[in-house]
Structure 1
Amino acid sequence: MTTARSERAAAEAAQDLLTRHRAPLERAVTAIRTREYWSPYPDEAAAYGELARTAGDEAFHRLLGQEFTSDQPGRDGSVGPGPEDGGESSPYGFGLGITYAHADPDVLLPAMEAAMAGWREAGPWGRAAVCAEILERINARSFELAYAAVHTSGHNFLMAFHAGAVHAQDRGLEAVAYALSEQTRMPTEVTWSKPMPDGRVFSLAKTFTVVPRGVSLVVANRVFPTWNGYPGLFASLATGNAVLVKPHPGAVLPLALTVRIAREVLRESGFDPNLVALAPERPGERLAATLALRPEVRIVDYAGTSEFGEWLEANARQARVFTAKSAVNSLLVESTADYRGMLHNLAFSLALYSGQLCTSPQNLLVPRGGITTDEGHRTYAEVVRDIAATVTDLLTEDASAIAVLGALVGPDVLEDVEHAASGAIGPVALAPRAVAHPDHPRATLRTPVLVALDASREEDRKTFGREWFGPVGFVVAVDSAAHGAEVLGAVTRRAGALTVGVHTTSPEVEALVAEVCEHAGVMLSVNLMGDWFITQSAVYSDLHGTGLNPSGNSVYCDGAYVAERFRTVGVRRYGDAR
């Protein structure tokens, strides 16, 4: 039971943290308002010191084959260490052998509810400061988390260090900034006065208190467990809710490390560590579905396939459900003033992380009459050939290819690649090839397969109108730029998209595609070149998702993403009329 003394200690600890973290928190709030570039977490590995990467690798390897210790209440068994009993297996070809504690929800959830009382009293700034401390300590272990991402999600190291570590931390702090902004929008107390007809003034003293909804459930995916998981985790925690993290069975470690760090900071700050807990699942348990329907769970954050996301939206009726689901991203190529630059940008976007990004382009729409370029007119066939040749050149050497690609996260991804490469769905413009990893000979890496399709054929429209997760791309012939805009709009409205692109030198085409994207509810990128790609999303500036198409009902990050995680309760006290 919380005592007055422990509450005072927690308040003092939170105040100390606030003194340390107020400046970066205020800077984060400014960034989400101005949308300018800013980050407290360097994304250059050299900024962390010469020995940081080696130390992170060693820390990761010390975890292998061990029990991941936990002091959470309600332990009723274990998960792991082998794949047959729920353990993780690296996409690079070896088992992690880590055992995690399994918890009884009937014990864990009441403990988490009880933990919220003192946390609520910390207030918006106190909670934000503790969250900022958690993220700072996570940042100090970025390389360990990066290697955890490599060997659970199949990232190459650079992708793991960025999306699996520092950029995920940015997403977490962004959510804290929005939570702070929304919770402090209303004053905590005010004197309300109304002039009366007889000259008196009628007054009421009013207070407004932020009240959290309840336990928040984060259902994470395997591909980006931290980048997709941190927004919901920190948005809920910063608004006063306890957070139960249900990791994907294949990617427990990154979130287990996150939960451990969060619990350490909470305990040291005088708060109940059961505000954050981990819920790994046994094989076939369907724990996410069970937890999502628990009455204690009032918020659900989900990232993954559309099928389960739609089930959550329909069935977890006691909770506010935030989903990020499947996406089919399209890019229209109409004309360009830099043909070679465009080809390189497209090739890298198709190849990055073997097309396993939620923002990877799948459909390249090209007018069947060809395009205008700075090198003259290019026919549809020439554009297809040149894209394929550029991808090939980019990935010719295995040593350079492994720095761009990622290991395929499951056999189903390889099955899709092989099916597309068989010619069964259309002419193969670029066949995939296996890439050998010198350090991990059992890893499954494939370069992209490109298939030529035609939007005038119904069967082809069905093919490119659904998500093909992984390194499968379609170069789709369309009648014109207007037809291409119509096609990408229809695919977005039906299947969902997180990003759409266009390459054009025509203001009229750009305006047309922008209008289509606005109506379909998807972000548009125009003529991206150089080192910025359609796959990228700038934290504090870009909005990831819109909530307006089937790819998800929420946004990383806006006010709506955090505002429904709490409510404000008012108290009115009568003041003497004067």
Structure 2
Amino acid sequence: MSATTPKALFERHQSLIEKAVEVIHTREYWSPYSENMKKYAEDKVKSASADFKALCGQHFELETIKPTQKVTGERSPYGFELGISYDQPDLNALTEAMEAALPQWRDVGAQGRVGVCTEILHRLNEMSPLIGQTVMHTSGQGLMMAFQAGAPHAQDRGLEAVAYAWDAMKGIPESARWEKPQGKMDPLVMDKKFHIVPRGIGLVVGCSTFPTWNTYPGLFASLATGNPVIVKPHPGSILPAALTVKVAQEVLKEVGLPACLVSLVPDTQAEPITKELALNPKVKVIDFTGSSAFGNWLEENARQARVFTEKAGVNSIIIDSVSDLKAVTKNLAFTLSLYSGQMCTTTQAIYLPKDGINTPEGKISFDEFAQALATATSKFLSDNDRACMVLGAIQSEATAARIDECRKLGEIVLDSEQREHAHFPEARIHTPLILKVDGKDKATYSEERFGPVSFLIATESTDDSIRLAREVLNEQGAITLGFYSTDADRLNQAEELAMDVKVALSNNLDGGVFVNQSAAFSDFHATGGNPAANASLTDTAFVVNRFVVVQSRRHV
């Protein structure tokens, strides 16, 4: 008999769950998981690096259905092999076991499942310092970003998904007495039952750059709504996903449930397994983050499943006028530098008129703005230790190679340079490449160039900037759009543009908020309304399609 129950876990975390539901409706600031490392157990903070190193060179133990081979191959973007191996299960045996376990997980009920999910998140939060290390050395993020985005911010997004799931499920009654008046005759009376029924096995396909932040919404949305979940991490970022699965399995076993309800299926670049998994008829829900090519393939071919994708896009900023040139260029310098542009929200296309923009000090030319941005970026990155922390390391060799390939695409405003990390001399670290192109050369800037590459686009006017941006955003999609103007009418135009192309808008950011950052419980990440993503993290639509309601009725 288990030491605790799913219901007891719900009661333990009930106040947290209720607050999360409240905040998804108010959209105010709230974060239950601290992003301040000093708030975590001192011993866990101090031992995090050693704990990570202790995992390297070892076999990672998980509950695995019929293991067939060991998978390895992770290499830190900071220049060393992790040397960790993981069991790959037999896919048929795994999906059969998960399908067999589904009724038990379904019958735990919405309340119990939400309790289990919240306990998993609670335990993940307690080990945030270690998770930060694993995210750093698989994604290449700088340590502080890896800790914040990979641990508490990812956990925020996971709890947000649980809150939406609970909010949707608790609105469905378990039963109802139905009475229809019949005039002088006795009324028709029926008892009805309503069952929340999961669709089937969920598959979460992780990405290399955000192995937890982009995994947790789908993982917890599917799990809370009753679907067993296969976590298929990117071959270069397995460890953070493996730690997550390990915690989930421990909680499941403690409440007397099959550990296979959350299972890891690792693979390698040489022998990918995602397509086979995605087409398995038992897989009914798929979450994917990655390239447009594979995301589109999933949408077109995995017809048996509900597919949620976040793909590539061309994030854009339009500059009409600014109230503080120094503050704006400083803000943009951080935006372009953070994690070397390896974020799905980082700006690539910056539109401004070729005859310049207005500032309080007078009109400045296109080239003067370009120089101001280059100077701000160079100054921001002048301290090498700070630069390495902000830039992080380039996750893949292909992204680093892309920098060289892009140099010929325009006039170089600021060239990318390699930096050496004080503690990891083999790290792949590159500063941003900023290019100047003409607005007529749309083919150059309308394709996503993932990594630290951005374009300053010379247009005929602000109206021309809006026109070009609209065309590119309609064709390629985006997750973020920025707009700078001191004119109220122009800002209204920006709102209209954002609604037309269905992209989240940020106006006149010149302080401590950046266009490539989003806050759980308040900001919707992607809209699901343009080619960059068919879903939003997180809204009601993201969770309610993961279950159906089956009713039964009988006469009283």
Shorter-chain TM-score tier:
over 0.9
- The reply to whether residue 68 of structure 1 matches residue 63 of structure 2 is no
- The reply to whether residue 476 of structure 1 matches residue 468 of structure 2 is no
- The reply to whether residue 544 of structure 1 matches residue 525 of structure 2 is yes
- The reply to whether residue 451 of structure 1 matches residue 439 of structure 2 is no
CA–CA distance in structure 2, aligned partners of residues 70 and 403 of structure 1: 32
Residue 413 of structure 2, aligned match among 407, 412, 429: 429
- The match for 2:276 is 290
- The reply to whether residue 43 of structure 1 matches residue 29 of structure 2 is no
CA–CA distance in structure 1, aligned partners of residues 513 and 304 of structure 2: 41
- Asked if 1 retains the 8 angstrom alpha-carbon contact of 2:349 and 2:445, the reply is yes
Spell out the pairing of 1:217-366 with structure 2 (5 A cutoff). Answer: 217-366=203-352
Structure 2: state its 5+ residue gaps. none
User: 1:145-166, CA deviations, whole angstroms, 9 ceiling, x for partnerless residues?
Assistant: 1100111000001110111111
TM-score using structure 2 length: 0.98
- Asked if 2 retains the 8 angstrom alpha-carbon contact of 1:525 and 1:534, the reply is yes
- The match for 2:8 is 16
User: 1:332-381, CA deviations, whole angstroms, 9 ceiling, x for partnerless residues?
Assistant: 11111111111110110011000101100011111111111122211111
Per the TM alignment, residue 73 of structure 1 is displaced from its structure 2 partner at its CA by 1.2
- The letter for the 1-side match of 2:429 is L
User: 1:223-242, CA deviations, whole angstroms, 9 ceiling, x for partnerless residues?
Assistant: 10110110000000000000
- The letter for the 1-side match of 2:402 is D
- The match for 1:28 is 20
Partner SS, residue 444 of structure 1: coil
CA–CA distance in structure 1, aligned partners of residues 144 and 444 of structure 2: 32
- Asked if 1 retains the 8 angstrom alpha-carbon contact of 2:44 and 2:130, the reply is no
- Asked if 2 retains the 8 angstrom alpha-carbon contact of 1:88 and 1:249, the reply is yes
- The reply to whether residue 210 of structure 1 matches residue 196 of structure 2 is yes
TM-score using structure 1 length: 0.95
CA–CA distance in structure 2, aligned partners of residues 513 and 324 of structure 1: 24
- The match for 1:417 is 403
Per the TM alignment, residue 201 of structure 1 is displaced from its structure 2 partner at its CA by 2.1
Spell out the pairing of 1:457-472 with structure 2 (5 A cutoff). Answer: 460-472=441-453
- The letter for the 1-side match of 2:128 is S
CA–CA distance in structure 1, aligned partners of residues 269 and 401 of structure 2: 23
Residue 150 of structure 2, aligned match among 149, 164, 177: 164
Per the TM alignment, residue 199 of structure 1 is displaced from its structure 2 partner at its CA by 5.0
CA–CA distance in structure 2, aligned partners of residues 255 and 368 of structure 1: 47
- The match for 1:441 is 425
- The reply to whether residue 535 of structure 1 matches residue 516 of structure 2 is yes
- The match for 2:91 is 105
- Asked if 2 retains the 8 angstrom alpha-carbon contact of 1:339 and 1:375, the reply is no
CA–CA distance in structure 2, aligned partners of residues 321 and 154 of structure 1: 28
CA–CA distance in structure 2, aligned partners of residues 286 and 102 of structure 1: 12
- Asked if 2 retains the 8 angstrom alpha-carbon contact of 1:334 and 1:366, the reply is yes
CA–CA distance in structure 1, aligned partners of residues 69 and 215 of structure 2: 25
Partner SS, residue 218 of structure 1: strand
Partner SS, residue 389 of structure 2: coil
- The match for 2:113 is 127
Per the TM alignment, residue 32 of structure 1 is displaced from its structure 2 partner at its CA by 0.5
- Asked if 1 retains the 8 angstrom alpha-carbon contact of 2:198 and 2:225, the reply is yes
Partner SS, residue 41 of structure 1: coil
CA–CA distance in structure 2, aligned partners of residues 21 and 92 of structure 1: 38
Per the TM alignment, residue 286 of structure 1 is displaced from its structure 2 partner at its CA by 2.4
Spell out the pairing of 1:510-521 with structure 2 (5 A cutoff). Answer: 510-521=491-502
Per the TM alignment, residue 94 of structure 1 is displaced from its structure 2 partner at its CA by 0.2
Partner SS, residue 227 of structure 1: coil
Q: Greater shift after overlay, 296-305 or 49-58? A: 49-58
CA–CA distance in structure 2, aligned partners of residues 282 and 359 of structure 1: 27
CA–CA distance in structure 2, aligned partners of residues 44 and 147 of structure 1: 15
Partner SS, residue 200 of structure 1: strand
- The reply to whether residue 388 of structure 1 matches residue 388 of structure 2 is no
CA–CA distance in structure 1, aligned partners of residues 361 and 401 of structure 2: 38
- Asked if 2 retains the 8 angstrom alpha-carbon contact of 1:451 and 1:473, the reply is yes
- The match for 1:493 is 474
Residue 558 of structure 1, aligned match among 522, 533, 539: 539
- The letter for the 1-side match of 2:482 is G
- Asked if 1 retains the 8 angstrom alpha-carbon contact of 2:63 and 2:260, the reply is no
- The reply to whether residue 179 of structure 1 matches residue 165 of structure 2 is yes
CA–CA distance in structure 1, aligned partners of residues 467 and 46 of structure 2: 50
Residue 524 of structure 1, aligned match among 505, 517, 524: 505
CA–CA distance in structure 2, aligned partners of residues 498 and 34 of structure 1: 22
- Asked if 1 retains the 8 angstrom alpha-carbon contact of 2:181 and 2:188, the reply is yes
- The letter for the 1-side match of 2:15 is A
- The match for 1:397 is 383
Number of residues of Structure 1 aligned to a counterpart in Structure 2: 556
CA–CA distance in structure 2, aligned partners of residues 200 and 282 of structure 1: 68
- The match for 1:84 is none
- The match for 2:131 is 145
CA–CA distance in structure 2, aligned partners of residues 486 and 189 of structure 1: 54
Per the TM alignment, residue 390 of structure 1 is displaced from its structure 2 partner at its CA by 0.5
Q: Greater shift after overlay, 65-74 or 207-216? A: 65-74
RMSD: 1.1
Following superposition, which runs of at least 4 residues in structure 1 exceed 6 angstroms of deviation? none
Per the TM alignment, residue 517 of structure 1 is displaced from its structure 2 partner at its CA by 1.3
- The letter for the 2-side match of 1:149 is V
Per the TM alignment, residue 514 of structure 1 is displaced from its structure 2 partner at its CA by 1.3
Partner SS, residue 271 of structure 1: coil
- The letter for the 1-side match of 2:22 is T
- The letter for the 2-side match of 1:527 is N
CA–CA distance in structure 2, aligned partners of residues 333 and 41 of structure 1: 36
- The match for 1:3 is none
Per the TM alignment, residue 405 of structure 1 is displaced from its structure 2 partner at its CA by 0.3
- The letter for the 1-side match of 2:146 is A
User: 1:152-201, CA deviations, whole angstroms, 9 ceiling, x for partnerless residues?
Assistant: 00000111011111100000000000011111222111111111122532
CA–CA distance in structure 2, aligned partners of residues 15 and 69 of structure 1: 28
- The letter for the 2-side match of 1:189 is S
Partner SS, residue 511 of structure 2: coil
Per the TM alignment, residue 277 of structure 1 is displaced from its structure 2 partner at its CA by 0.2
Per the TM alignment, residue 427 of structure 1 is displaced from its structure 2 partner at its CA by 0.8
CA–CA distance in structure 2, aligned partners of residues 387 and 25 of structure 1: 44
CA–CA distance in structure 2, aligned partners of residues 54 and 490 of structure 1: 51
Per the TM alignment, residue 283 of structure 1 is displaced from its structure 2 partner at its CA by 4.3
CA–CA distance in structure 2, aligned partners of residues 26 and 196 of structure 1: 42
- The letter for the 2-side match of 1:227 is W
- Asked if 2 retains the 8 angstrom alpha-carbon contact of 1:435 and 1:445, the reply is yes
- The letter for the 1-side match of 2:484 is H
- Asked if 2 retains the 8 angstrom alpha-carbon contact of 1:188 and 1:207, the reply is yes
CA–CA distance in structure 2, aligned partners of residues 330 and 550 of structure 1: 14
Partner SS, residue 403 of structure 1: helix
Residue 47 of structure 2, aligned match among 34, 44, 55: 55
User: 1:6-56, CA deviations, whole angstroms, 9 ceiling, x for partnerless residues?
Assistant: 6xx59x611211121111001100010111111110011111144332222
- The reply to whether residue 115 of structure 1 matches residue 101 of structure 2 is yes
- Asked if 1 retains the 8 angstrom alpha-carbon contact of 2:434 and 2:456, the reply is yes
Q: Greater shift after overlay, 128-137 or 63-72? A: 63-72
CA–CA distance in structure 2, aligned partners of residues 512 and 228 of structure 1: 32
